[in-house]
Each structure stands twice: as structure tokens, then as C-alpha cells.
Structure 1
Amino acid sequence: MRVHKPYVIAESEDGSHKFVWLGIDEADAEKGILTNQYLIVDNGKGLLIDPGGYFVFERVYKAVTEFVDPENVVAVFYSHQDPDVVGSLNLVAEFFPGATVYISALWTRFLPHLGVLEGIKIVEIPDRGLEIYLGHSKLVAIPAHFLHSPGNFTLYDPKVKVLFSGDIGAAVFPKGKWYLFVENFEEHAKFMEPFHKRYLASSKALHAWLKKIEQLDIEVIAPQHGAIFAGKRLVEKFLAWLRNLGPIGVDNIDAITG
């Protein structure tokens, strides 16, 4: 089991804007499904993406401070409400007190159950999505509802052409296996298919999301679980795989319930 250091996935030519993967401890697989956390930095201001659960927060916090001072983390983006996404919210509120939380309007009423009753600014993302400003750049929260959460968003960074896809693109590695970037797509698809077939709600929801992103210029797709798709070739392979995935979620209800 290895601890992997943070890695800059994409960066602007002048270095003022970075999209950073925040590292991983493979031993965390013994505690729960492995999760990816990301940080976008623009001109010294940071936005943290899906900070994760309680037990990964110490690692995430240390990684963030390699790129930006904690007081300059001005935003936290939550794709949805799962515990592996929002479980450390009370620590986020304590250690990044200046951050505004962006989350679907469906989930704000549930956040007090995470032990945060006051002292945190929340912006509810409407169902249609939202533009989020960071430093001198603009990010776009794109609706991905029912993939798998009913209030779910992906996040596009047009400056470096990276799409954070949340659970879309998630892979569950077998014990003892892990890698950061997809190389052999066909082999990697074996680790994605069971998750997508069961966790994503329906083909209709998936194709609605695909229609929203098909005009975007995407060079990297970074999911919350599994490995990153880097380069146009792998991005297109992945999107084509999604288009041809067939029945998912409720489309398979008879087979699931037997």
C-alpha cells in the first residue's frame, strides 16, 4: 500500500491556474471505497472539490496547503450528498472558515445532520446549474441529476479544459490494484461497468447529461472514484462507452430484484 502525492493534472501557460489531484493513500481502501479529491487554484484562490469523508480529511488538508493558504480556500464544491463527499463538512467549516459551500438546493436542509449548524456560507445550486467565479476564472456547475444522486452536478473548468465528473466514470479497483491515469481503456472498463450499471439511475438521465457536455472542449475527465481520463482520445473513448452502455439503473429493475 502506498501514499501518492498530489499531482497537477492541468495548468495554464502562465502558471496562475491549476487543476490539482490531491493524492491518495491506498490503505484507505481498507476503510471504504477510495475517493479522489481535487483543488482548483486561480491567482492564489482555491476551490476544493468533494473533500471526502472524515478519515481522509487530514491528508486532504495537508495537500491543499501545498498549493494555497487555508484562508485563501474561498469555495468548496459538493457534487452530491453522499458521506464520501460531504462527511468531513464540520472539519471543512473549521479549517477553511472563509469558504463558501456550493451544493444542490436539494441537500442544504440535510447538512445540519453533519454537525454544522452555523458559521458556514452556503450557496444552493439550482437544478439548471450555476456559474461559479474563482479568482479571475469562471467554472460551470453542470446538471447531472440522477447520476446517481437526484441533486447532482459535475464541474467544468474551461480554462484548462478539465471536467470533474463526480460518480460518472467511477471505477472500483480490485484489492491491490490502483492507478491514477487510464491507459488501457478496455481493461479499465471492466472496473467501471458494474458501478455504472447499478448506481446510475437511468439511460435517459445519462443521455441528458451527455447532451449537455457534448459541445464542451474537454481534454481531461476527472471522476471522484477510480482513474482519470487524460487526452482527447481517452475522453472520446469514455464518452462513446457511456453512449453505448445500454440499460442502467431502473432500466434493469427486473434483473436486480429477481
Structure 2
Amino acid sequence: MMQGLIVNALHAGYRRREIISGMDLPPVTDGSLVALLGANAAGKSTLLKAIAGLVRAGGRIELDGEALDRLPHAERMRRVGYLPQALPQSTSLVVYETLLASARATRAEVGREQSDAAIETVLDTLGLRDLALRRLDELSGGQRQMVGLAQVVVRAPRLMLLDEPTSALDLRWQLNVLQSVRNLTRESRCVCMVAIHDLNLALRYSDMVVVLHEGRLLAAGEPAKVMNSDVLRAAYGIEGRVEACSYGYPIVLADRAA
């Protein structure tokens, strides 16, 4: 039995409108961070929601050899952690309380001591200790986005689905988030899919990129091998290049709109 994620012949959409039609993704093995790339309305969010079971979907979606759509709802929630684009709701609860609720929501059998230990680890991993006793309604948008990520991470799901987790963050926190998520993915041997617009961060931190265009798969594979001038033109409508920086990281240079 393969440990990881398989998505084949995926159809997904909203009511009468199908966004994704017959999509096959390469198998994603344990410990992999996958960056979902593509222009606005390419289908990135729909793909994440389909895997999470939040929109109408058909086809084969398996995690560790088990079909996710055949699992009881509670079990699917245990295994899959989903972070939407929307920020966590403002509330008078402090950050620690929201993390405790998340840690216990899908694992009621976990004791308070174990939950507290998990929260302490996440606060240190994501650099959020200073926010632990702050109320959510006192936090900035970027801070609330970090708390949303922490609510997913503290549950330790087998599959993390993160929809633009860095959109409200400054550059320092973008780097912190992606480095932390990559480390967590590798250490826990889970699978993580991240929808992201920053191509250079995606190329630097991901093990695989999946490029979507108008609801179909345009390209997928190792970042440095997949991203090229042709893919940039087809996916984003730009003339651009991929070159290596002085540290050897691939970087995208956008020259002009095509």
C-alpha cells in the first residue's frame, strides 16, 4: 500500500459548474511539500477543497491507500487539515484557547497534558509564543493568518491543505512559514499541498510543483525541471525566464506580459 496521496480522474466544481474535469496528479509520497501554482481562477482552491471534501467531487482521492470519500466524516477530519484563504474569525478567545479547541476537536481522546504539549511545540515552531495570551480580535490580519495555520498544525493531520497561507504576511513571516511547514512535513512524514502565488518561494521550498490552468493540469514534477519559459507563458501569460541565483536557488524573472 502506497503511503501518500493519489488523485486520479478528479472532477470537481460548484452546483452546475464544473471547474476541474478529469485531472490526474502524480502520486505524492510521504514527506512531500507540493506547491499548487497558476493564475487566478486556475482551480487551485477548488482542488484543495475537493481533496478536503468541501465541494462536489468525483474520481479517485486516496490517502495511504484509503479512499477519503469512503471514510466517516470525523475520521476524514482527523486525517486532513484544511486552511482556507479566509482569516480566522475575530473573537474574544485568546490564541492558546483557540489552539486547544483545535487540538481537541478531532481527537477528543487526547488528554489535556498531551494537548498542552502539542500547543507548546507549535507555538515555538511557528514563532508565536508572544501571541499565546493575546485575544484574536486584537491581532493583525497577518497574525490571525499565522494562528489559522497553527490551528491546522496542532492537529498533526496526515495531509495538510493550505490555501495561500502567506498571503497576509510580510517577507520575514513568509519565509518562516514555508521553512517551518517544509520541516514539519519532512519530520512527521505527512503530505502538504500549498496554493501559493509567489513563484520564487514555491520553487525554493517545494519538492513538487503542480501548475494549473483553467481547471486542468498544465505541468507537474520537480520545481527546477517543470518551471520554464513555456510554462510561464501558458500559465501566467508572461514572457519570463528561470535562472539560478548565487546560492543556486531557481528564480523566476518576469520580463513582460505576453
TM-score normalized with structure 2 length: 0.35
By percentage of residues, which structure has more helix?
2
If asked which structure has higher relative contact order (CA below 8 Å, sep 6+), I would say 2
Structure of greater Rg: 2
